[in-house]
């Protein structure tokens, strides 16, 4: 990790050396520069090759094999991909993950925006409010999920008791196959702090004159929101949606913990009995990938699932960034 | 809890009140939305802490307030489980990862932001791609690799990759390094300083907020991480981190809710303390991650 300390550069006032010397010193300087760059980049060059490029290629190869980590991989062609169609847990996993991306992500982004809007309107105590709304985002996901499992616990959880006192319906939340994902969405909304702070910063950046001008033109609060605020912060909305979708694709921890703990199973050794509890409603795509690859050691099939996930992640990112130019105000903020 | 999703409608009075009263009512109404929201965000914390102070019987009873307060829960959870070991493992993972991320990502970000070279743009795109791709895409061969090294069951597979650059940290640092005026580097160069000297004595001191943010995020990521520890140390309880241990509490130790919540409080506490100690760096860092052209 040592590198030449200086990058030589001919001082403009120096006496002119002969052309050959100039060329030689320049070549030496170029080489030294390249070595400097290489030295600075070396951690990433190694990291990218070993932990990214090589695994990516190997995933593609393994996806065409049968591999259990004990015997060497056996070539099976596209059998793993064909099996996806028949795998009874593959499509439910796709559907559950899709639900999180199509329902939970928009709900969370809209909610983050609403919270940021209320905080931005607060004249006093904005700092305290920001802290309160940000704090849950810091809670370790496992801790937050356990907290919600207790709060939402049917019959014994505080929420159930409060709903009972108010004579409101007392649903089963994490134990109800129709409500498990909405409950996880509420958990996600509680931890909305990071996006909220980004929204808040950009809301406070919108020039006041724009609002004043709109007000002079007789725009009401709703019109100001739609025609001034939203266009001005559209790059941030895009950022929130893109990161939300990417997080949605790898949504694992909360779903896995909620499923195994509520289902009374063992989260570590993954017996598989309570997988996706209740009734497979929390069996997200990455959860099934984990189960196949690292509990059943169907490494080839898990690799095939990873390749499919890679293709989807890549196209989602590309589509979002491509279409963004059309609906993001001043799309140059994108790159 | 569903109410958190619905902004409250501002109440309106039937008769038109004088303007100052309308304004006051409006202010109260506006604040009431905010206050109700704030209350809802705090409620889960309150109940988690209250339950952590209950006896087991109370935690399952309709009572919401613990009486008597059982502070000994925080002691019991250390006796009943190996909490100290898990906390130590988590701390080892978090501290070493943070160290690795800083040592490796700062020079890379420097090369991407402040050195001019062919292929820099491509390298940046590669970093962005690595940042955006789901971790599960590369996880199978990585696991195979670490299994062949006999590292599975130990913390090493979680820590070592951090010493080879973290895409998110590289990107965040690069964004910040770009904002430092080039003149500072140039004048150091005139004084005969090399790139390493410029990095150490010019760029790093000026980029302290960004570096603090990256350190905080790295620490927090490792502290909170579940997928990594589950994958690599899930089968070896000696190396469990708090995340994995906590997820197993209920089934493994048949730990009651009150003790689980006590452990949850202890797990959250360092993070909350860290936040209050470095609130400014946090907020600046989060804002830095947002897009800014």
pLDDT digit string, tens, across residues A239-289: 888 889 889 999 999 999 999 888 875 554 444 567 888 889 999 999 999
Mutate to test the interface with B, among A105, A142, A296 (most CBs of B within 10 A): A142
Identify whether A14 is part of a domain. Answer: no
Confidence of residue A331 (pLDDT cuts 50, 70, 90): very low
Q: State mean pLDDT over A229-238.
A: 88
**Interface subset of B 73-102, CB within 8 angstroms of A:** none
Cis peptide before A189 (omega within 30 of 0): no
pLDDT for position A6: 41
pLDDT for position A1: 37
Q: State mean pLDDT over A71-76.
A: 94
pLDDT for position B289: 66
Q: State mean pLDDT over B73-92.
A: 93
**How far, in Å, CA of B119 to CA of A45, rounded?**
13
The answer to whether residue A2 scores a pLDDT higher than 70 is no
Identify whether A121 is part of a domain. Answer: yes
**Interface subset of B 215-254, CB within 8 angstroms of A:** 220, 223-224, 226-227, 230-231, 234-235, 237, 240, 242-244, 246-248, 250-252
Is the reported ipTM for this assembly greater than 0.95? no
Identify whether A177 is part of a domain. Answer: yes
- Name the token pair of B37: 């929201």
Residues B162, B100: contact at Cβ < 8 Å?
A: yes
Separation of first and last alpha carbons in chain B = 37
Percent of chain A, pLDDT > 70? 87
A146 burial (CB, 10 Å; 0-12 / 13-18 / 19+) is buried
Identify whether A55 is part of a domain. Answer: no
Identify whether A315 is part of a domain. Answer: no
Q: State mean pLDDT over A65-77.
A: 94
DSSP-assigned letter for residue A52: I
Largest CA distance in chain A: 95
Q: Which residue has the higher pLDDT, A293 or A270?
A: A293
Calculate ∠ Cα B127-B129-B130, nearest 5°: 65
The answer to whether residue A182 scores a pLDDT higher than 90 is yes
A50 touches chain B (CB under 8 A): yes
- Of the candidates A229, A150, A228, A39, the one whose C-alpha atom is nearest the C-alpha of residue B1 is A150
Out of A51-55, A120-124, A319-323, the most confident range is A51-55
CA atoms within 13 A on the CB side of B176: 27
Considering only CB atoms, B142 lies closest to which of A55, A139, A202, namely: A55
Alpha helices in A267-298 (DSSP H): 285-290
Percent of chain A, pLDDT > 90? 57
Sorted by where each begins, the domain ranges of chain B are 2-75, 80-289
Cβ atoms within 10 A of the Cβ of B40, count?
Answer: 15
**Interface subset of A 142-201, CB within 8 angstroms of B:** 142-144, 146-148, 150-153, 156, 158-159, 161, 186, 189-190, 194, 197-198, 201
Mutate to test the interface with B, among A13, A41, A200, A296 (most CBs of B within 10 A): A41
pLDDT tens-digit readout, B106-149: 999 999 999 999 999 899 888 888 888 888 899 999 999 999 99
CA atoms within 13 A on the CB side of A247: 18
pLDDT tens-digit readout, A165-177: 898 988 999 999 9
The answer to whether residue A123 scores a pLDDT higher than 80 is no
Least Cα separation, residue A246 to chain B (angstroms): 7
pLDDT for position B3: 37
Spacing of C-alpha B98 from chain mean position:
12
B5 burial (CB, 10 Å; 0-12 / 13-18 / 19+) is middle
The answer to whether residue B2 scores a pLDDT higher than 70 is no
Domain CATH number, residue A144: 1.10.3720.10
pLDDT for position B132: 81
Alpha helices in chain A (DSSP H): 19-48, 54-62, 79-86, 90-99, 105-121, 126-138, 141-151, 158-165, 180-190, 193-205, 208-216, 221-224, 230-232, 234-249, 253-262, 285-290, 299-327
Percent of chain B, pLDDT > 90? 54
The answer to whether residue A139 scores a pLDDT higher than 70 is yes
User: Is A308 strand, coil or helix?
Assistant: helix
pLDDT for position A178: 94
- Name the token pair of A229: 């605020």
pLDDT for position B293: 33
User: Is A145 strand, coil or helix?
Assistant: helix
**How far, in Å, CA of B293 to CA of B282, rounded?**
21
Identify whether A243 is part of a domain. Answer: yes
pLDDT tens-digit readout, A7-62: 444 445 555 556 777 788 888 888 888 899 999 999 999 999 999 999 999 999 99
Q: State mean pLDDT over A185-209.
A: 92
B194 touches chain A (CB under 8 A): yes
B271 touches chain A (CB under 8 A): yes
**Which residue reads 């009651």 in tokens?**
B256
**What are the b/e assignments for A217-226, b being 16+ CB within 10 Å?**
eebeeeebee
Tell me how many domains chain A contains. Answer: 1
Cβ atoms within 10 A of the Cβ of A268, count?
Answer: 21
B163 touches chain A (CB under 8 A): yes
The architecture of the domain spanning B80-289 is Orthogonal Bundle (1.10)
Identify whether A305 is part of a domain. Answer: no
Least Cα separation, residue B39 to chain A (angstroms): 9
Does B291 contact A147 at a Cβ distance shorter than 8 Å? no
**Which residue reads 């997200």 in tokens?**
A284
Residues A260, B247: contact at Cβ < 8 Å?
A: yes
Out of A139-148, B76-85, B129-138, the most confident range is A139-148
The answer to whether residue A129 scores a pLDDT higher than 70 is yes
User: Is A272 strand, coil or helix?
Assistant: coil
Q: State mean pLDDT over A78-99.
A: 95
Calculate ∠ Cα B108-B114-B115, nearest 5°: 80
pLDDT tens-digit readout, A45-55: 999 999 999 99
Chain B nearest-CA residue for A201? B287
Chain A nearest-CA residue for B288? A198
pLDDT tens-digit readout, B12-36: 445 555 677 777 777 777 678 888 8
**How far, in Å, CA of A236 to CA of A232, rounded?**
9
What is the domain range of residue A293? Answer: 87-297
Spacing of C-alpha A24 from chain mean position:
50
Residues B194, A40: contact at Cβ < 8 Å?
A: no
Identify whether A51 is part of a domain. Answer: no
pLDDT tens-digit readout, B139-184: 999 999 999 999 999 999 999 999 999 999 999 899 889 989 999 9
Residues A200, A121: contact at Cβ < 8 Å?
A: no
Q: Is the dihedral of CA A323, A329, A330, A334 positive or negative?
A: negative
Sequence-distant contacts of A117-125: CB under 8 A, at least 24 apart: A117/A199, A117/A203, A118/B7, A118/B30, A118/B33, A118/B34, A118/B37, A119/A196, A119/A200, A119/B34, A120/A200, A120/A203, A120/A204, A121/B30, A121/B34, A122/B31, A122/B34
């Amino acid at each position: 990790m040592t590198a030449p300390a200086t990058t030589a550069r001919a001082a403009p006032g120096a006496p002119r050396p002969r052309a050959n010397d100039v060329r030689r010193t320049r070549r030496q300087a170029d080489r030294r520069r390249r070595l400097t760059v290489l030295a600075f980049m070396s951690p990433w060059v190694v990291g990218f090759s070993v932990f990214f490029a090589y695994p990516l290629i190997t995933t593609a190869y393994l996806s065409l094999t049968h591999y259990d980590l004990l015997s060497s991989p056996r070539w099976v062609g596209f059998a793993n991909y064909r099996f996806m169609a028949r795998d009874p847990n593959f499509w439910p996993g796709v559907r559950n993950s899709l639900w999180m991306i199509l329902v939970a992500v928009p709900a969370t982004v809209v909610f983050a925006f609403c919270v940021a809007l209320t905080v931005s309107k607060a004249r006093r105590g904005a700092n305290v409010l920001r802290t309160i709304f940000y704090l849950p985002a810091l809670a370790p996901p496992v801790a937050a999920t356990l907290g919600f499992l207790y709060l939402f616990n049917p019959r014994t959880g505080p929420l159930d008791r409060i709903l009972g006192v108010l004579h409101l319906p007392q649903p089963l939340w994490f134990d109800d196959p129709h409500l498990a994902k909405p409950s996880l969405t509420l958990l996600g909304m509680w931890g909305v702090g990071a996006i909220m702070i980004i929204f808040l910063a950009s809301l406070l950046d919108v020039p006041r004159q724009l609002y004043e001008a709109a007000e002079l033109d007789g725009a009401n609060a709703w019109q100001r929101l739609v025609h001034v605020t939203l266009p001005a912060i559209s790059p941030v909305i895009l950022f929130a949606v893109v990161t939300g979708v990417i997080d949605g694709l790898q949504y694992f921890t909360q779903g896995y913990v909620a499923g195994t703990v509520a289902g009374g199973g063992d989260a570590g050794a993954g017996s598989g009995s309570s997988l996706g509890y209740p009734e497979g409603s929390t069996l997200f795509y990455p959860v099934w990938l984990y189960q196949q690859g690292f509990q059943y050691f169907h490494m080839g099939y898990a690799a095939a699932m990873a390749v499919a996930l890679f293709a989807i992640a890549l196209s989602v990112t590309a589509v979002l960034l491509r279409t963004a130019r059309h609906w993001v105000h001043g799309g140059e903020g994108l790159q | 809890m569903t109410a958190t999703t619905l902004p409250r409608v501002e109440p309106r009075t039937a008769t038109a009140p004088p303007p100052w009263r309308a304004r006051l009512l409006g202010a109260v109404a506006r604040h009431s939305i905010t206050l109700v929201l704030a209350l809802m965000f705090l409620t889960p914390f309150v109940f988690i802490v209250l339950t952590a102070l209950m006896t087991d019987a109370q935690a399952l009873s309709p009572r919401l307030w613990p009486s008597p307060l059982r502070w000994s829960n925080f002691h019991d959870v250390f006796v009943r489980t190996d909490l100290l070991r898990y906390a130590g493992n988590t701390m080892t993972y978090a501290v070493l990862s943070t160290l690795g991320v800083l040592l490796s990502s700062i020079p890379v970000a420097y090369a991407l932001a402040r050195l001019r070279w062919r292929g820099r743009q491509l390298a940046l795109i590669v970093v962005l791609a690595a940042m955006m791709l789901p971790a599960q895409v590369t996880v199978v061969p990585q696991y195979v690799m670490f299994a062949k090294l006999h590292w599975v069951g130990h913390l090493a597979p979680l820590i070592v990759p951090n010493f080879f650059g973290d895409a998110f940290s590289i990107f965040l640092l690069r964004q910040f390094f770009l904002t430092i005026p080039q003149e500072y580097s140039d004048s150091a160069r005139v004084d005969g300083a090399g790139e390493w000297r410029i990095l150490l004595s010019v760029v790093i001191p000026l980029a302290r907020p960004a570096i603090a943010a990256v350190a905080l995020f790295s620490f927090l990521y490792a502290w909170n991480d579940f997928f990594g520890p589950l994958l690599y140390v899930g089968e070896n309880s000696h190396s469990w981190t708090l995340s994995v241990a906590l997820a197993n509490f209920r089934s493994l130790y048949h730990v009651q809710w009150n003790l689980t919540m006590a452990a949850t409080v202890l797990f959250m506490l360092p993070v909350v303390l860290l936040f209050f100690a470095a609130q400014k760096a946090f907020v600046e860092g989060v804002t830095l991650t947002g897009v800014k052209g």
